[in-house]
Structure 1
C-alpha cells in the first residue's frame, strides 16, 4: 500500500487479487456504468464501509478497538519511559542540551 497526494488530499493505493471470473464481471459492470475500474472499486469500498457501519454491533466493536489501541499506546509509553527512567523521556535530553549549549556559549564568550 502506498500513499500519495492528489487534489490536496491524501490517497492510498490498494492492490488486491481478484479471481478472473469476478474481475470480468466487475469490469463489465463498471463499463456498463460508464465508470473506470478505479472509480467502481472506490464505490464498492464506500458501500462496504456504509454496510458495516449499519451493523447493530459495529459501534460496540469500534469502541472495543479504540480501548485496545489506548491500552497498547499506554503500554508502549510505559516501555519508552522505562528506557529513559523518567516520566518524560525528553526531560533528560532537554536538560543535557541546555547545559551543553550553555557551556558552549560560556566558552565562546571567553
Structure 2
C-alpha cells in the first residue's frame, strides 16, 4: 500500500468573518503560536467536546452501522455481478467514501 502523500496530514481551508479572524489572530499572537497551531488546538478542543456529549457514542454507533449496511449492500451487488468468482475484498476497497479521479469527477 502506498504511503500517504502528506504523511497522513490534511489541509483544511475555512472562511472566517473579519472580526472573528482579527480576534483569533490576536489570541494566537498573545499565546505566541501560529494561526495554524491555534486552529489545530481549536479542532482538537471541538473533537474532545463533542466526544464528551452524552449522545455522541450512540450517534457514532448509528453512523458505523449505516456504513456497515452500505458496505454489505455494495458487497452484495458485486457478488451478484460475479457470483462465486467475486474478487476478494481488500480492506482498502471496503471504504464507503468516494475516490476522486483526475479532473475532480467522482467515481463509484
Who is 2:86 aligned against? 89
Which of the pair has the greater relative contact order for Cα pairs under 8 Å at 6+ separation?
2
TM-score, normalised to structure 2, is 0.73
Return closer, same or farther for 1:88/1:68 CA change in 2, 3 Å cut-off: farther
> Corresponding residue for 1:4?
6
Larger radius of gyration: 1
Deviations 1:29-72 (A, max 9, x none): 00000000000000000000000000000111011011000001
Distance 1:22 1:88, change over 3 A: farther
SS state at 1:11 partner: coil
Taking the TM superposition and a 5 Å limit, the aligned residue runs for 1:1-110 are: 4-5=6-7, 10-84=8-82, 86-90=83-87
Residues paired across the two proteins, number:
84
Partner Cα distance (2:67, 2:16) in 1: 31
Higher helix share: 1
CA distance in 1: counterparts of 2:11 and 2:29, whole angstroms: 21
Show structure 1 runs of 5+ residues with no match.
92-110
Moved over 6 A (4+): none
